[in-house]
Amino acid sequence: MKKIAILTSGGDAPGMNAAVRAVVRAGIYAGYQVFGVTRGFQGLINGDFVEMTLGSVADIIHRGGTILRTSRCEEFMEEKGRLRGLEALRDAGIQDVIGIGGNGTIRGLYEFSKLGVNTVAIPGSIDNDIPYCDMSIGFDTAVNTVVSAINRIRDTATAHERIFIVEVMGRESGHIALTAGLAGGAESILIPEVPFDLDQVVERLKQGMKRGKLHSIIVVAEGCCGAYPLAREIQAKTGMDTKVTVLGHTQRGGMPSAMDRNLASRMGKRAVDLIVEGKGNMMTGYQGMKIVDVPLAQVIEGKKDIDLDICEIARILSI
């Protein structure tokens, strides 16, 4: 019987369990043995394989995190580490590997494929910065988590007549900040991809104050600027009490949204289909609300840009 390995790697994202469930069930349905790899690429190197059954993935579709656990494995980024992983796979008789994760995971699978391993990537990242993928697993849930937090913060900002800076994840990507900021009605959204002028931000806040606005929300991606120094400068320039809330890892956890569960289920099923069809070294992308097949070599050379039209919409509506 042919064997598939499934792993989750890098930062966790809500919906990963739904994808694992889909791979296991679709794989078994197609006549494969499916093995879970614990702790991502590190588990692959160590040969930490556990056979999965239908019961293994019962009642996990609604759970955040990943039952397989995850890690960031620097060793796998070197050929010596990948060769150890290859040896472990051969010892276990496993021919195909499906990995769920972000850009680092996808690159790792691409490099692994050069050793003759058939790999398929499922994009799972709250950052939503994966090329050829309109929405990666976990992004929708993370945005909803941020919007929920903004709603609560706005309540207290209104009560105390304060400015709040809400820092969200995104070292190099502003997708969470932009999408959640627009949905949360933020007065300003600051992201790494778009340079900003602090004086212009302050002027817009002052114009709002002149119209009687007594509170404001500024959403900042962590890679854009330091939230605390920014708060000090804004308070000094506006005279308004300015607080910072760093949402941090709350954005990674929690029950995945219906969108993420459905997306993960569709991508997981397609990943198995690719293996059955003999189409390896691919990623299950998502474009125009459809699952698409994208070569890994194309993904790692690509770059996902921010939608400047949405930036302009947010700017106009935040007056």
Annotated binding-site residue numbers for ATP: 11, 72-73, 102-105
Using the predicted structure, report yes or no on whether residue 42 has a pLDDT greater than 80. Answer: yes
User: CA nearest 245: which of 314, 184, 154?
Assistant: 154
Instruction: Give residue 81's pLDDT.
Output: 93
CA distances from 288 to 88, 132, 133, 134, 292 (A): 38, 10, 9, 7, 9
The tokens for 86 are 């290859």
What residues form DSSP beta bridges with 293?
A: 284
pLDDT, tens digit, 9 for 90 and up, residues 221-235: 999 999 999 999 999
Q: Please give the distance of CA 17 from its chain centroid, rounded to a whole number.
A: 14
Annotated binding-site residue numbers: 11, 21-25, 72-73, 102-105, 125-127, 154, 162, 169-171, 185-187, 211, 213-215, 222, 243, 249-252
How much is the average pLDDT of 38-56? Answer: 97
Distance CA 283, CA 294 (A): 5
Instruction: Give residue 51's pLDDT.
Output: 98
Instruction: Give residue 216's pLDDT.
Output: 97
Instruction: Give residue 266's pLDDT.
Output: 99
How much is the average pLDDT of 36-47? Answer: 96
Q: Which of 12, 48, 96, 127 is catalytic?
A: 127
Using the predicted structure, report yes or no on whether residue 319 has a pLDDT greater than 80. Answer: no
Annotated binding-site residue numbers for substrate: 125-127, 162, 169-171, 222, 243, 249-252
**What does pLDDT average to over the chain?**
97
Residue 111 per-residue DSSP state:
H
- H or E stretch including 298? helix 296-301
Instruction: Give residue 20's pLDDT.
Output: 99
pLDDT, tens digit, 9 for 90 and up, residues 172-190: 999 999 999 999 999 999 9
Instruction: Give residue 174's pLDDT.
Output: 97
Residue 245 per-residue DSSP state:
E
Contact predicate 185/164, CB 8 Å: no
Note if 127 is an active site residue: yes
pLDDT, tens digit, 9 for 90 and up, residues 239-274: 999 999 999 999 999 999 999 999 999 999 999 999
Residues of the chain above pLDDT 90, percent? 96
Distance CA 267, CA 132 (A): 14
Instruction: Give residue 1's pLDDT.
Output: 86
Distance CA 231, CA 237 (A): 10
What are the helix and strand counts (H, E) for the chain? 11, 11
CATH T-level topology, domain 3-138+256-301: Rossmann fold (3.40.50)
Annotated binding-site residue numbers for ADP: 21-25, 154, 185-187, 211, 213-215
Residue 128: HSE in the Cβ half-sphere, 13 Å Cα cutoff: 24
Q: How confident is the model at residue 74 (pLDDT cuts 50, 70, 90)?
A: confident
Using the predicted structure, report yes or no on whether residue 309 has a pLDDT greater than 80. Answer: yes
CA distances from 22 to 15, 63, 207, 267, 302 (A): 11, 14, 51, 8, 27
Q: Domain limits of the chain?
A: 3-138+256-301, 141-252
Same fold, 3-138+256-301 and 141-252: yes
pLDDT, tens digit, 9 for 90 and up, residues 120-175: 999 999 999 999 999 999 999 999 999 999 999 999 999 999 999 999 999 999 99
Distance CA 318, CA 158 (A): 16
Q: What is the CATH number of domain 141-252?
A: 3.40.50.460
The verdict on pTM exceeding 0.85 is yes
Using the predicted structure, report yes or no on whether residue 100 has a pLDDT greater than 90. Answer: yes
